[in-house]
Structure 1
Amino acid sequence: MSERKRILITGAAGFLGSHLCDRFIKEGYHVIAMDNLITGRLKNIEHLFHLENFEFYNHDVSKFIHVPGNLDYILHFASPASPIDYLKIPIQTLKVGSLGIHNCLGLAKAKNARVLIASTSEVYGDPNVHPQTEEYWGNVNPVGPRGVYDEAKRFQEAMTMAYHTFHGVETRIVRIFNTYGPRMRLNDGRVLPAFIGQALRGEDLTVFGDGSQTRSFCYVDDLVEGIYRLLHSDYVYPVNIGNPDEITIADFAEEIIKLTGTNQKVIYKDLPVDDPKQRRPDITKAREILGWEPKVSRSEGLKITYDYFKSLSKQELNEVDHYNFDKYIIR
């Protein structure tokens, strides 16, 4: 039997990182998971601990990264991704997007490994182009409240391309649009878990602005498939991975009320600073280069996700951070 390929996944105990661990274990890889647990949760990956081809390191990749032995691939997914998190820990967010990516790329160079970084649709800011193509440079406020996350991701992309251009490191860049599914945190400030959490707790659903702003939601299994294909492709420039099925936030709130069978009202509050008005990926490149497009409909994915949240204990359901939600960005 040929030796297993070895892959390092940073941010492995997070929502997306844990699903990537599952996928690469399923594909027969030896998975080295790394997370400092600042936002990740061990329960997301504890079902893998008994496996011989899985190992976990509780470590902050912003400090340094040491992995003994050979390494074939690196997935850099270590970063706070929710508004509540990156506004609560802005310095750590900037550090993992700068020092963390530098360490990952240095490790990739030393190990002759291919590295894929998790970028985001937030690099487009509040876009003036719709839908967003990879060629669009964005409309980002570097000193606004979202700047700590948006600019960290933009720097990550620049550093990654520099290592590819000047050091010949094999690099891949995925720009992730709104993704959802089991293992999301109800208290992370993103619109989908926020709505479901409010519905399950019997609270009114909070819409910021007039609800005309749009989002496009991609189910996590579809996203993971796109990432897997991109990692094994020959394409080095950014690729959008997301679901182009666009919906307004107001209509989405009504979908959640119908899904949960609750009778809550929708209440409206002021739109936060720099909140994107439109968000929809152009996935032409993903279709043409990767042969990828989303397969899971929003109705199907929401049912799976809702069933997951319903299975949580009462304590987990009420684990809502005691922040002033009005000052945070719901995206």
Structure 2
Amino acid sequence: MKRALVCGAGGFIGGHLVKKLKREGYWVRGVDSKPHEFAPTQADAFRLLDLRDPQNCRTALTLSDGGSFDEVYQLAADMGGMGFISVSECEVLHNNALINIHMTHAAAEAGVARYFFSSSVCIYRDMQPDEPPVTEDDAIPANPDNEYGWEKLYAERVAMAYGRRHPMHVRIARFENCYGPEGTWTGGREKAPAALCRKVAEAEDHGTIEVWGEGTAIRVFTYVDDLVDGIFALMHSDLGDPVNLGREDRATVADLVRTVIEASGKRMTIKYVPGPVGVQARNFSKARIASLGWKPKVSLEEGIARTYSWIQAQVKVAQDSASRT
């Protein structure tokens, strides 16, 4: 039985990745500074550890039989949607750099065979809506739109350097927007799909919701089950260079809003207001991940319907709880 360590297992994607690895027959240890907020972990073991501390990284990697993990998936990060990363530059740079430096170093020293790092398309520059897709190699010369992207780019270089100097196969995926059930949906760190699902779920039929920007920003939204399938395929591939991971089809924020409203069955008025939006557009080549035979299976409409249903249930629980106090 292969053994895997999932760092960030208390988070949205990490929690789903644990489930994927268990379905594949792995023994899994999950590590995070907090337990999963919405679902009990399916990991065989779960440890609460702050991975900014190098000793905690070594503890996370230590097995009772003195052996080493076959695979480490490093998804731990201080992050959130634009509402968070636009005002938390110092926290993002400080906390994530410490996590990634210490965990990469500890994994290499521990003799880990395969190491996955979750990067982000935030490492790319702002784009115009009509620009052709850029490849992974177009990330350099670099000009990320925010500090989260700059730190991710640096952490990629750290991981690749250790991969060159140690017998550790490094795999890097640059995630596009990921969404689905069991993710943060309120509190300021939620991303656009979850925030919009919450706003619509909280609103009355024929009500009004506020949306940051003008609805013209272009993104790719990938359902979490498809994303973790891509992570697993990449980890077991021969692709040593960074890989863009996300759907091919793009959508504007206005498209996303309409899809959420359709899933709700409500009639809503949309009011666009000033707020942090990020880049104008994203359009990246998926040729590398497609070369592995990976194809997303869940459409935006189907994925949003699943996500909205889950968030609607969370909103109802919160409203019922508030009414009792």
Aligned-partner SS, 1:291: coil
Q: How much has 1:81 moved relative to structure 2?
A: 3.0
Letter in 2 for 1:9: V
Q: Give yes or no for contact 2:123–2:143 (8 Å, CA) kept in 1.
A: no
Q: TM-score, normalised by structure 2?
A: 0.86
Q: Give yes or no for contact 1:124–1:132 (8 Å, CA) kept in 2.
A: no
1:195 matched residue in structure 2: 196
Q: Does 1:61 align with 2:33?
A: no
Q: How much has 1:318 moved relative to structure 2?
A: 9.8
Q: Which of 224, 228, 235 is the aligned partner of 2:239? A: 235
Deviates further, 191-200 or 206-215: 206-215
Aligned-partner SS, 2:159: helix
Q: How much has 1:208 moved relative to structure 2?
A: 2.7
Q: Which of 301, 304, 320 is the aligned partner of 2:303? A: 301
1:323 matched residue in structure 2: none
Letter in 1 for 2:42: L
Structure 1 residues 155 and 305: alpha-carbon distance in aligned structure 2, compared to 1, 3 A threshold? same
Q: Does 1:24 align with 2:21?
A: yes
Q: Which of 4, 8, 11 is the aligned partner of 1:7? A: 4
Q: Give yes or no for contact 2:122–2:149 (8 Å, CA) kept in 1.
A: yes
1:328 matched residue in structure 2: none
Cα separation, 2, equivalents of 1:280 and 1:8: 32
Aligned-partner SS, 1:8: strand
Cα displacement string for residues 157-213 of structure 1 (whole angstroms, at most 9, x for unaligned residues): 111111122334310100000111111221234211111111111063333332221
Q: How much has 1:302 moved relative to structure 2?
A: 1.3
Structure 1 residues 26 and 121: alpha-carbon distance in aligned structure 2, compared to 1, 3 A threshold? same
Deviates further, 172-181 or 83-92: 83-92
1:34 matched residue in structure 2: 31
Deviates further, 247-256 or 73-82: 247-256
Cα separation, 2, equivalents of 1:96 and 1:236: 26
Cα separation, 1, equivalents of 2:16 and 2:190: 20
Cα separation, 1, equivalents of 2:289 and 2:85: 28
Cα separation, 2, equivalents of 1:132 and 1:62: 33
Gapped runs of 5+ residues in structure 2? none
Aligned-partner SS, 1:48: coil
Q: How much has 1:141 moved relative to structure 2?
A: 5.9
Cα displacement string for residues 247-274 of structure 1 (whole angstroms, at most 9, x for unaligned residues): 111222122222212222111123537x
Cα separation, 2, equivalents of 1:88 and 1:193: 19
Letter in 2 for 1:236: G
Aligned-partner SS, 2:136: coil
Q: How much has 1:216 moved relative to structure 2?
A: 1.1
How many residues are treated as equivalent by the alignment? 304
Cα separation, 1, equivalents of 2:26 and 2:173: 21
Q: Give yes or no for contact 2:173–2:242 (8 Å, CA) kept in 1.
A: yes
Cα separation, 2, equivalents of 1:280 and 1:165: 30
Cα separation, 2, equivalents of 1:304 and 1:241: 21
Cα displacement string for residues 118-159 of structure 1 (whole angstroms, at most 9, x for unaligned residues): 0001111313654232122268667x7x31x11111111111
**What is the correspondence of 1:52-201 to structure 2 with a 5 Å cutoff?**
54-64=44-54, 65=57, 66=59, 67-69=61-63, 70-83=68-81, 84-87=83-86, 89-113=88-112, 114-127=114-127, 130-137=132-139, 146-147=146-147, 149-187=148-186, 188-201=189-202
Q: TM-score, normalised by structure 1?
A: 0.84
Q: Give yes or no for contact 1:33–1:55 (8 Å, CA) kept in 2.
A: yes
Aligned-partner SS, 2:5: strand
Cα separation, 2, equivalents of 1:92 and 1:317: 32
Over the matched positions of the two proteins, sequence identity in percent amounts to 29
1:262 matched residue in structure 2: 266
Structure 1 residues 197 and 157: alpha-carbon distance in aligned structure 2, compared to 1, 3 A threshold? same
Structure 1 residues 260 and 93: alpha-carbon distance in aligned structure 2, compared to 1, 3 A threshold? same
RMSD: 2.4
Aligned-partner SS, 1:312: helix
Structure 1 residues 259 and 140: alpha-carbon distance in aligned structure 2, compared to 1, 3 A threshold? farther
Letter in 1 for 2:104: L
Q: How much has 1:317 moved relative to structure 2?
A: 6.5
